[in-house]
Amino acid sequence: MQSYTIGQAARLLGVSSDTVRRWADGGRVATHRDEGGRRLIDGRDLAAFSIEVGQSPNGEDEVPYTSARNAFPGIVTAVKLGDVAAQVEIQAGPHRLVSLLTREAVEELGLEVGMQATARVKSTSVHIDRT
């Protein structure tokens, strides 16, 4: 499973690294240390936490987030596979994006919960890029 540094998690959540450190120090999100002593967050933990942050009411946890050129970098929070089609959910800061695509595309991209991905929006379509 992929793990994320504090800085990577901050970028995905749309907040500062200091905010993520405070959340980790306060026990809101679990971290562990790598061999070099860096604090890391497990991808599944970050996916679950990003949903919590995205659903928080207005207040200190509100995450300001804007898209540039309709690209929403975030973390995969759900993958539902059917026989032919699939549904992928990405939490990008406070934004939850859902894309319907083929099962084959999901498998080719290797998408799974906890991975970093970018949703690209054009008109009424949402395309997923693995990052």
Q: What is the pLDDT of residues 21-74, one digit of tens each?
A: 999 999 999 999 999 999 999 999 999 999 888 776 544 444 434 444 678 889
When pLDDT is averaged across residues 67-86 and rounded to a whole number, the result is 86
Contact 114, 47 (CB under 8 A): yes
Q: Phi and psi of 72, rounded to 5°? A: -120, 90
